[in-house]
Amino acid sequence: MKRHILLWLIPLLLLIGCAKAPVTGRTQIIMLSPEQEMALGFQTEKEIFKTEKITNDPRYLLPTKRVGHRIAKATGLDLDWKFYVIENDKIPNAFCLANGHVFVYTGLFKYIDNDDQLATVMSHEIAHAIAHHVAERVSVTQITSVATAVASEVIRAKTSQYQALYEAALGIGSQVGVILPYSRMQESEADHIGLILMAEACYDPREALTFWEKFAKTSKGGIVYFSTHPSSSQRIEQLKRLMPEAIKRYNVCHLGDRVE
């Protein structure tokens, strides 16, 4: 039995690579190579172009490109940065793929009053990409799958009674105990990195609070169980704690004109 478990674990341990997240310095476990991560981004993009309608409406595209390029410059990364707008007024969201291609839904603009607030969302999404959060989540899922399989094998060897129940519990436990908390942590980290990015791009970080407070009023509020995002109150409190650092960066930024 021990030998069988080792056959699962040894290849996994050999594949694991450690990295550091930008700004926060958090140690990450990433099993995907940069080439695999980039390929995943391009494959996702192909599916997006098949299923979503891309608009060139200047009301949305011009501010998206204007804000996006400044935030991209603040990252210091030489990616193939591109910016698209998806025509869908029902989804107030945005996302950034590993290849540096950013997509913003038209539905987001209902909640945007200025470039600083648009920068709040775009910097958060770009933060996910530069922190390799998708690659990290894939890696954690792979590790969790192996660990669950090993635990299931141990249970199977010990008893056949209630085996299906135990295995179902293992699956739920891995989701609630590992993957979902990890996702919430990444969301909080993206808020942190994004706040610093927008400040270094000369967008007023105080507008992040304005945006999220306004956005929170449109939702039902409270913590949604099994949600991959922190609650609005947690997000806002974290931004308040990080604001002094962001203001310092904003006061010395040089990528654009600050509005006092």
Q: Which residues are catalytic?
A: 125
Q: Are 96 and 113 in contact (CB under 8 A)?
A: no
